[in-house]
Chain A
Amino acid sequence: MSEMSRELMLSVVRSVYDDRDPVPDGLVTRMQAAAREAADDLGFSLEVELMTLLERSSELVGTRSDAATRAVYTLRFVHGQVDLLLRVAPEGERSRIDGWVVPPEPITVRVVHDDGSTFAAIISDTGRFEIPDVPLGLVRLRLEPHDDRAPFVTPSFEI
């Protein structure tokens, strides 16, 4: 059976079940309320807490005359007991972020890019993480602890 024919059959199945066993009235609203309440309980809905920038330094690389000169940055942020060290390096037309979280604990780190895309990694047992291949632009890092603490974010910075 061709892909198109298969997709047509499946769309018939969808339309039949949509007619015959439709989503109950109010189900979506009830689920939105339940999800929102769970998110509120975990502090997702509060103003997200900002990490503090402690240090920033840069060194110039790529001094070849035909290449745009781009810097390697190191940034250090803190929030409560969490210390976050970042190294942002050029990688072709994009950037690569290497990070180190002290003390190491299960945390998901996401790059939230100004263009709407996100990139994620989980920090390793030693507290390291790497997020390669991030497009240039303005980004924030969002740290999501795997326990019940609410996420927190860095201020925006340019990569």
Chain B
Amino acid sequence: MSSSTITERGDAGQSPGGVWAQSADAFDRWIAGDPSALDDLVRAMTPVLWHVVRAYRLDADAAEDVIQSTWLAFVRSSATILDTAAVGGWLTMTARREAWRVSKGAGRTTPTDEEELAPHLPRQRSAETDVVEADRRDRLWGAVDGLPERCRRLLRVVAFENRPDYASLASELGMPIGSIGPTRGRCLAKLRVALIEAGEL
């Protein structure tokens, strides 16, 4: 039951593998001379870039600037991406580097996690999806909220990325390289316990 609800999400909720394959296909079509394929690539990858960049605690405007400069860099540098299947990884890596650079600089990060201030209002739902669904979502949110901040940031990047490169993640999130894998494992285990306690697993 839980997985069926979880997968009925928008693009960003898709497993990264599907998004990555769509992106590679769009890049191939763009190279083959279909200008509209660039729109498809941007549509597939922008939600992923949003979530990855927001894990660096940038406010919405700063995050949008980073995503835009990522797309401009992509158009300018596309000739250097030889393996079209790697385009998703190239985009997220470029966006993470830029997000990290901006987040180290002056005051464009949110003082407290902006996401935590967002009201936990249920999205508009059709009548038949209901209180049960809203309760369930609250429990999922609560489980993620209960994680330490470094877990939330790391898991957000890892969840939307496809096999992120640990070395760059480590320096960007201020963790030793060797600790990324174990930290990810501990964070996932904590989330699992929280979901079990919330009755969601």
Chain B proximity mask over A18-58: 1 for CB below 8 Å, otherwise 0: 11111110011011101110110010110010000000000
The reply to whether B80 and A39 form a contact with Cβ atoms under 8 Å apart is: no
By a CB distance below 8 angstroms, the chain B residues around A35 are 38-39, 41-42, 71-72, 74-75
Count of chain A residues with Cβ under 8 Å from any Cβ of B? 51
How far does the Cβ of B2 sit from chain A's closest Cβ, in whole Å?
8
B29, B50, B137: residue with the most chain A Cβ atoms closer than 10 Å: B50
The reply to whether B71 and A48 form a contact with Cβ atoms under 8 Å apart is: no
How far does the Cβ of B14 sit from chain A's closest Cβ, in whole Å?
8
Interface segment, one of A77-85, A94-102, A138-146: A138-146
The reply to whether B9 and A12 form a contact with Cβ atoms under 8 Å apart is: no
Q: Looking at the complex, which one of B50, B83, B189, B191 makes contact with A13 (CB distance below 8 Å)?
A: B191
The reply to whether A27 and B67 form a contact with Cβ atoms under 8 Å apart is: yes
A15-B6, A24-B60, A38-B71 as given contacts; A120 in contact with B83, CB under 8 Å: yes
Q: Looking at the complex, which one of A5, A24, A112, A122 makes contact with B31 (CB distance below 8 Å)?
A: A112
The reply to whether A31 and B159 form a contact with Cβ atoms under 8 Å apart is: no
By a CB distance below 8 angstroms, the chain B residues around A17 are 12, 51, 54, 115, 156, 159-160
A7, A18, A45: residue with the most chain B Cβ atoms closer than 10 Å: A18
The reply to whether A10 and B159 form a contact with Cβ atoms under 8 Å apart is: yes
Q: Looking at the complex, which one of B46, B72, B188 makes contact with A23 (CB distance below 8 Å)?
A: B46
By a CB distance below 8 angstroms, the chain B residues around A116 are 25, 28-29, 32
By a CB distance below 8 angstroms, the chain A residues around B13 are 11, 14-15, 18
By a CB distance below 8 angstroms, the chain B residues around A31 are 42, 46, 67-68, 71
Interface of chain B, main secondary structure: helix
The reply to whether B38 and A16 form a contact with Cβ atoms under 8 Å apart is: no
B3, B32, B54, B72: residue with the most chain A Cβ atoms closer than 10 Å: B32
Interface residues of A in 64-118 (CB under 8 A from B): 107-108, 110, 112, 116-118
How far does the Cβ of A1 sit from chain B's closest Cβ, in whole Å?
6
How far does the Cβ of A22 sit from chain B's closest Cβ, in whole Å?
8
The reply to whether B82 and A42 form a contact with Cβ atoms under 8 Å apart is: no
Bound together, the chains give a CA A144 to CA B175 distance in angstroms of 39
Bound together, the chains give a CA A152 to CA B118 distance in angstroms of 49
Q: Does A8 contact B (CB under 8 A)?
A: yes
22 A-B contacts, Cβ less than 8 Å apart?
A1-B192, A10-B155, A12-B191, A13-B155, A17-B160, A20-B115, A23-B50, A28-B42, A28-B46, A30-B64, A31-B67, A32-B39, A34-B68, A34-B71, A35-B75, A38-B75, A39-B38, A112-B33, A116-B29, A120-B84, A142-B31, A153-B33
Which residues of B are interface residues toward A (Cβ below 8 A)? 2-3, 5-7, 9-10, 12-13, 15, 25, 28-29, 31-33, 35, 38-39, 41-43, 46-47, 50-51, 54, 60, 64, 67-68, 71-72, 74-76, 78-80, 82-84, 114-115, 118, 120, 123, 137, 140-141, 143-144, 155-156, 158-160, 185, 188-189, 191-192, 195, 200
